[in-house]
Every structure is written in C-alpha cells, then in structure tokens.
A and B are shown apart, each in its own frame.
Chain A
C-alpha cells in the first residue's frame, strides 16, 4: 500500500513525458515539411546570438517594463526547475526533500526559490493587469480575438497557481516541521511562505499533511500539464526560442535571399549560347502560396512566435491602420501548418484540402501593405523574420500569378523597357547635368 503514491507518481510522470515526446515529434515532423536550407555558416556568431539574445534576453529589455518583468519570470522558471528535480526524485523514491542533506546550502536554495516564486507571482499578476485592465494596444489587435486571448490568460493563471501551490507547500511543510511531525525533518529557509503560517498555525497535523500533500501534487501535476499545454499554445517559445535564435538571420537585414532557381533561368535567357543542363527540371514553383513552400526556419519561426506583438506594434503599415500585422503573418503560418499536420495525422500523407496560406489565411491586401522596413525583424526578441514570408508570398503573386497591383506592373514594365521605374528614356539619364 505504501508504494501507491510512488507508482501513481511514476505513471503520471511517464505519461506526461510520453505525451510531450509524441507531440514534440509531430512538431518536428511539421517543421520538416519545409525545405532545407544550409545554415552551417557563422557558427560562432550564432552561438553568440543564443547567449546574448536568447539566454541574455538582450532584445527583451528594449522595452524596459515588460523586459525586466519577463527576465524575472524567466529566471524564476529556470531556477525553480532545480526544485522540480527534487520533487521528481522524491516522488519516485518516496523520500521527502531529498536534497536537504545539503544543509545550509539547501536552506539558501529554498529561500531563493521562495523569493523568485513571489517575484514571478508579482510579475505574472502585472502581466495579467497589462493585458486585461490596462489593455495595452498590442494585446487587443484583431488577430488576438478568441483563442489567442484566452490562451495568453490561461498561461498566466497556470503560472500563478504553480507559484501559489509552491508557496503553500512550503508553508505547510514548515509548520509540520515546527510541530515535529514525522517525515518532516527540519530543512529549508522560508522567507516568503512564513507569512502564510499565521493562517494555518492552528490546523491539525492531519489537515496540514493533507494540504501539504495536495499542494505538492498540484504543483508537480501542474508542471506536467503545463509542459503538455505548450504544444497547444503560443508558449512554445520557452523551448524553441533557443534554436530559433541560433538559426536567425546573420546577414545584414537588408540582404534578401537571391533565388538560385531564378539565376539559372536568367543566365539562360541572357546568354543565348548557354545550354540547359540535361535532365535538370525547371523549378516547380517560384515563391510561396502555402506553408509547404516555406523553409524549415520560417516554420520554426511560426512555432516560436509567442504573440507578444512587438512586431505589429512597430509596423508602419499597422500603425497607420492597414490590415497588415506581422504577428498575424506568423500566427497564420503556424495555424495553417497545424492544419496540414492534422491532415497528415488523419490520412498518413497530406491530402490536398483546397486551402492554402495565401487568401485562405493571409490576404493580398496584407502582403502589399508591407514597406519592407525591417522594423518587425528588428523588434522580435527571438529573431523571427515575418518579412521573409511576406517576400516569398509576393514572389508567388508576381512570378506565378502576375498579380501585382497595377501601378507596380507599370513601374516594373518601365524598369524592363527603359531602366527606371518611371517612363523616362534611359538616354536622358544624364540630362540633369545641364539643367538649371
């Protein structure tokens, strides 16, 4: 009988981790639906970016209030994981506070977890206020209606409850230590949860044990559930930010990809003596109309996006009331990829569903509103590049469908015929020299 909690714990742990792994596999499979790119370059710079941007949160603090709050929650999340390790070992072995042998070091660890826990709790409450009371504009854009808004709040509630359970667990544990309950050896220092003690100091030992055990279970089960919630939420950035920053753009932002497939065709066109390589097929498609035409990095970008909206907040088109929102580009890409993933889950392979990213998710009006100013790319704290998706989709519209806005077609015809976007003769290019 006494092993029942351990067995239940091991089952919860294994099924939680198992489900997480199976969803992670799906996620990786979906990302691999994109085409491969060579990113073996600039290793040193890429690692530097991971340290600076992902670990060091350098782009978060560009906005000091949310940046510093985020660092607190992030540090709390990372460091409190040491406590989770202890809980997991205790759960499996049936021990209690197995690390307490570390003596004074353990006291300081527990004390620091408690301080972090209260800071995280405060941080998360401020986040909730910013979102729901202060109603900061970027959290209320049209694309945030419905699930994205709920999702964001669910995550905040999760974090609040995890921290509250943690502190209740410590408070009751401490009280049980005080009254000399067996199993509850004196260990730890409780600078924060001691303030809960007055509320519980007349509780019986049994009540205290029930509360302590419940908080312990709710805390660890909450963590397991949260781990599995990630896949269904916008919150994957806590894992994917690191690879995403590693694979982020290294070149100057102004350097756009040069399409090799086009280079081949242009060379053939310009050099009449060139002979096409035998057996080489013409590229199937220029640009992107669906997520399957995007690169793996672009798809990783989409899963990494946590919908903070800093990109949309600085987008000149969005700021002046146009439909374009770089965050929506990322959300649409992710949602469409998920749709295709579910299609594959069901059918084994992707069965065309008469839908695509273009028009069914992202409208042409959004794509043509972009000024390619790179403010969104600069603003993203985790090196997502919404602009690259916009450009790929414009390429599809122009090269596959000849569907540019008419004025642009005129400008492009001018470039083609007389080497300038306006209808001036190339022979007049130096006339300015003699004009007054």
Chain B
C-alpha cells in the first residue's frame, strides 16, 4: 500500500459545511465480505486518484433491503428503504455511486416511489464518466492483450440494460475480450440473485455457479472480469471447484483498473 486511503464520511463533510460530489454506497458485501472489501478499496483508490470529492455513510449505512425484497419480505424491504431514505435525504444526497448492482438497482428503481430520488450510478458507469472527462487515465498496463471474459451481472445488464460501461472499461485496458456463449441480454446468472446468496440451492444436478464457471472457462481466460461482489464470490467458488484458482483469477473491473498502473 502506497498512500493511506482517504475515506471521508458524510458526517465529516456535514461538520465542515460541505457537500461531496457523490456518495459512495459501499453496501453490505463491500463493507463486510473479505473478498468484496478488496473491491471497495480498489474503487476508493481510483476515486482518490481521480480526486473525486466523495463520502461514505460509514456506520450510518445499512442494507438497502434488496435481499429482503427478492425473498418476498416487502415489510422489511420498505422499512430498510424508508430508514435509508431518511438518512440520505437528511444529508441532501443527490448522487450515489455503488459497486453493487443490487444496491444500484434498488436505489435507481425502487426508492423513488418511497421518496428517495437520486442520480444513481454503478461504479463501472462512474469510472467510465471519469475516463471520458479525463479525470482518470487508463492505459493497457499489465492487462494489455490478456484473454479476459466478462460476466454480466443480471441486475446491471438485463435488469437495467447496462452492457456497455464495463466493456468500455475493458477496452480501455486493451484486453482481448472473449465473450461467453451466453452474454449481455442472454447472460446466465451466477446463481446468487433473488436472495439465493444467503441460502443453499434447491436440489438439482448442478450448482448454477458451476454451470456459469464452466462456460467462462470455455473461453480460456486468464481473468474472469466481474462487476458485482456476489457474482465475484460465486465465480471465485466456481473456479476453485474446478481447481483452476492458480491459473485464473476472478477480478472486479475496478480492481483491474487500479492494478493496471499499480496505483
């Protein structure tokens, strides 16, 4: 680690009477899951590097309610949503960026009806805009020419029609992007959505993440790029189950960008 990460909180901004450019919503996985925390830090490095004035909610952040809603618990979802909206609105948040497509979808699509209206961006969209504005520079670096496949998260892709931002970033990294047979709107789920992440799968012939990992391995990638902490876990487990973890890494695109230039 070169420089320590700068991670100001909303409360600190408030104390100085300032408003950040954007709120970085870390999410439960990004805050607590050991693998996802690395993605969080990589993204913060990029934000620091691009001199983005961002803040996090820190201990004031709570689950968006996505898993509760997909599990069918509308009560718990709306309780979480309303509590979060109260906090967000009290800080007069206008713009939110998050590295979790599930948080992204919930804010973007399901909070407005309950009184939470924000401009919401997935971190790949935000990074794309930083690049387009010239605030962040990405050049091939160590991933140039590497065979890489990208796994579309359902809640970024099909659910919100964003297939381009992650691919834009991969092109900037000058990788050799090899698409899987089922990609973009036809992409196969990693198996974690709909609250499946928190339960054992129903009986079947195979786990979904194994099916998806096998498809990813067919492209003979050196890296499976992901854009969701849950997909990342599922694909990492899949690669381990196939005993390929020494050859193939599962990485978030934010991590790849942060690593490309050894930021």
- Per-residue CB contact flags for chain B residues 61-88 toward chain A (1 = under 8 Å, else 0) read 1110101111111111011101100000
Q: Does A275 contact B (CB under 8 A)?
A: no
Chain A residues numbered 373-423 whose CB sits less than 8 Å from any CB in chain B = 373-375, 377-378, 391, 393-399, 404-405, 407-408, 410-412, 415-416, 419-422
Q: A62, A253, A270: which has the most chain B beta carbons within 10 Å?
A: A253
* A419 in contact with B75 given A266-B82, A270-B82 (CB within 8 Å): no
B174 contacts the other chain (CB 8 A): no
Establish whether residues A374 and B75, one from each chain, have CB atoms under 8 Å apart when the complex forms: no
Q: CB within 8 Å of A: which of B74-123? A: 74-76, 78-80, 82-83, 105, 108-110, 113-114
Q: Which of B5, B56, B80, B202 has the most CB of A within 10 A?
A: B202
Number of A-B contacts (CB under 8 A): 219
Q: Are A432 and B41 within 8 A (Cβ)?
A: yes
Q: In the complex, what distance in Å separates the CA atom of A369 from the CA atom of B189?
A: 13
The residue on B at minimum CB distance from A373 is: B189
Chain B hits for A323, CB < 8 A:
202-203
**A-contacting 9-mer, from B141-149, B156-164, B241-249:** B156-164
Question: Chain A contacts of B110 at CB under 8 A?
Answer: 255-256, 258
Cross-chain contact of B113 among A258, A397, A405, A420 (Cβ < 8 A): A258
Assembly CA distance A324 to B194 (angstroms) = 14
- The stretch of B132-140, B204-212, B217-225, B254-262 in contact with A is B204-212
**Cα A258 to Cα B56 with chains together (Å):** 27
- Asked if B177 is at the interface of the complex by the 8 Å CB criterion, the answer is no
Which residues of the other chain, A, contact B114 by a CB distance below 8 angstroms? 258, 263
Given A256-B69, A258-B114, answer yes or no on A321-B160 (Cβ-Cβ < 8 Å).
no
Which residues of A lie under 8 Å from residue B3 when comparing CB positions? Answer: none
Question: Would you call B192 and A371 a contact (CB within 8 A)?
Answer: yes
- A372 and B194 contact, CB distance less than 8 A: yes
* Cβ–Cβ contact A426 & B78, under 8 A: no
Stretch in contact with the other chain, from A130-138, A148-156, A312-320: A312-320
> Which residues on the B side are within 8 Å of A435 (C-beta)?
37
| Pairwise interchain contact B161-A422, C-beta atoms closer than 8 A | no
Q: Is B58 an interface residue (CB 8 A)?
A: yes
A320 touching B206 in the complex, CB below 8 Å, given contacts A374-B158, A421-B28: yes
A368 in the interface (beta carbon within 8 A)? yes
A416–B202 touching, CB < 8 Å: no
| Beta-carbon contact of A321 and B205 below 8 Å | yes
B59 at the interface (CB under 8 A from A): yes
Q: Is A368 touching B158 in the complex (CB atoms < 8 A)?
A: no
B72 contacts A432, C-beta separation under 8 Å? no
Cα separation A395 to B70 with both chains bound (whole Å): 9
> What are the interface flags for A302-330 relative to B under an 8 Å C-beta threshold, 1 for contact and 0 otherwise?
00000000000010110111111000000
Question: Which residue of chain B has the shortest Cβ distance to A368 in the bound complex?
Answer: B202
Nearest CB of chain A from residue B35's CB, rounded to whole Å:
12
Report the Cα distance A83→B37, complex, angstroms: 68
Which bucket holds chain B's interface residue count? Answer: 35 or more
- The docked-state distance in angstroms from the alpha carbon of A72 to that of B74 is 45
Q: A272 in the interface, Cβ–Cβ < 8 Å?
A: no
What does the 1/0 interface line of B14-49 toward A look like (CB < 8 Å)? 000000000000101011110001001100000000
Shortest Cβ distance from A430 into B: residue: B58
Contact B109 A252 (CB under 8 A): yes
A411–B72 touching, CB < 8 Å = no
Give the distance to chain A from B79, nearest Cβ to Cβ, in Å: 6
Residues A257-282 near B (CB distance < 8 A): 258-259, 262-263, 265-267, 269-270
Q: How far is the CB of B175 from chain A (nearest CB, A)?
A: 26
CB distance B78 to A258 under 8 Å? yes
Once bound together, how far apart are the Cα atoms of A395 and B154, in whole Å? Answer: 21
The answer on a CB contact under 8 Å between A269 and B70 is no
| C-alpha gap A202/B191 in the complex (Å) | 68
B185 on the interface (CB 8 Å rule)? yes
Contacts of B62 in A (CB 8 A): 419-420, 426
What are the 7 tightest A-B residue pairs by CB atom distance, in nearest-first order?
A254-B159, A394-B72, A321-B205, A419-B62, A372-B194, A321-B204, A373-B189
The 7 sampled A-B contact pairs (Cβ below 8 Å) are A256-B110, A373-B193, A399-B75, A411-B71, A412-B67, A421-B198, A426-B61
Q: A316-B189, A372-B154 provided; 11 other pairs, C-beta below 8 A? A: A254-B108, A258-B114, A319-B188, A322-B202, A371-B192, A398-B72, A399-B75, A410-B198, A415-B76, A420-B31, A430-B59
B-side residues, CB < 8 A to A, are 1, 5, 7, 9, 26, 28, 30-33, 37, 40-41, 56, 58-59, 61-63, 65, 67-76, 78-80, 82-83, 105, 108-110, 113-114, 154-155, 158-161, 182, 185-189, 191-208, 210-212
Using a CB–CB cutoff of 8 Å, the interface residues on chain A facing chain B are 62, 251-256, 258-259, 262-263, 265-267, 269-270, 286-287, 314, 316-317, 319-324, 365, 368-375, 377-378, 391, 393-399, 404-405, 407-408, 410-412, 415-416, 419-422, 424, 426-433, 435-436
